[in-house]
Amino acid sequence: MQTTTIFNLAILEAKADQHDLLREALRALVPLTRQEPGCLDYTLFERSDSPGTFFMRESFRDQAALDVHFSMPYFRAFERRFDELLARPLRLVSLKEVL
């Protein structure tokens, strides 16, 4: 059975008064997620010209590995804070590698 690597770009925009809290919540996810067996890349960026707008570049071995990530307790705890932290819903952009 062939697996397909999953590449995503998550876009998260903080509420005006939540920039620092969102940044810290995202930073806390990075080392935990990188330890997941199916995680290939999990890198956080913040727009230099728009503080509070974050991008998480992520790749997982396959859909099953991404599903595991979404089910992890630390991700579920972060997800419960979306209403508190995010100005708009998280946008997950699926990408295809161009070879």
Tokens, residue 51: 């503080």
Q: What percent of the chain has pLDDT over 70?
A: 98
Instruction: Tell me the average pLDDT across 75-86.
Output: 97
3-state secondary structure of 23: helix
CATH number of 9-82: 3.30.70.100
Of 69, 68, 71, 63, the closest CA to residue 94 belongs to 63
Residues 16-26: tens digit of each pLDDT: 999 999 999 99
Q: What is the pLDDT of residue 72?
A: 98
* Domain locations in the chain as residue ranges: 9-82
Q: What is the spatial distance between Cα 12 and Cα 85, in angstroms, rounded to a whole number?
A: 9
Residue 92 has pLDDT above 60, yes or no: yes
Instruction: Tell whether the model's pLDDT for residue 28 goes beyond 90.
Output: yes
Among 1, 3, 51, 54, CA closest to 25: 54
